[in-house]
Copies of this chain bind each other. A is one copy, B any other.
Amino acid sequence: MNAIPNNKLQYLKFLSELPLFNDIQDQEIELLLPLIKVINYQKREMFFINVDKRPGLYITFDGQFKLTKVNERGDEMIIRVVSNGEVISPMHFSQYYEASAEFIKDTTLFYLSEDTVNQLVKDNSSFAKNIINMLAENIQSLMMAAEVWRLKNTKERLGWFLASANTNNLGKLPISKSLLASYLGMTAESLSRALKKLGDEGIKIEHKMIKQETGKELCSYCDRVIGVNCNLFGSKNCPLF
Interface-side segment among A101-109, A123-131, A173-181: A123-131
Which residues of A (143-161) have their CB < 8 Å from a CB of B?
A: 143, 145-147, 149-152
Pairwise interchain contact A149-B151, C-beta atoms closer than 8 A: no
- A138 in contact with B139 (CB, 8 Å): yes
Interface size class of A (residues with CB under 8 A): 35 or more
Contact across chains for B142 and A143 when beta carbons are under 8 A apart = yes
Chain B contacts of A118 at CB under 8 A? 129
Quick check: is A236 within 8 A (CB to CB) of the other chain? no
Question: In the complex the two chains form, what is the Cα distance from A98 to B94 in whole Å?
Answer: 29
Question: Is there a chain B Cβ closer than 8 Å to A185's Cβ?
Answer: yes
Question: What residues make up the interface of A, taking CB atoms closer than 8 Å to B?
Answer: 51, 69-71, 75, 77, 79, 92-94, 96-98, 118, 121-123, 125, 128-129, 131-133, 135-136, 138-140, 142-143, 145-147, 149-152, 185, 223-225, 227-228
A-B contacts besides A71-B151, A150-B185, 20 pairs, CB < 8 Å: A69-B147, A70-B151, A77-B146, A77-B151, A92-B136, A92-B139, A93-B140, A94-B224, A98-B224, A118-B129, A121-B128, A125-B128, A128-B129, A132-B135, A135-B135, A142-B142, A142-B143, A142-B146, A149-B149, A149-B150
Q: Contact between B128 and A132 (Cβ–Cβ < 8 Å)?
A: yes
| CB of A19 to closest CB in B, whole Å | 14
A224 to B132, CA, bound (A): 26
Question: Which residues of chain B are within 8 angstroms of A223 by Cβ–Cβ distance?
Answer: 96
Say yes or no: A97 contacts B136, CB within 8 Å.
Answer: no
Q: Please report the C-alpha to C-alpha distance between residue A175 and residue B222 in the assembled complex, in whole angstroms.
A: 34
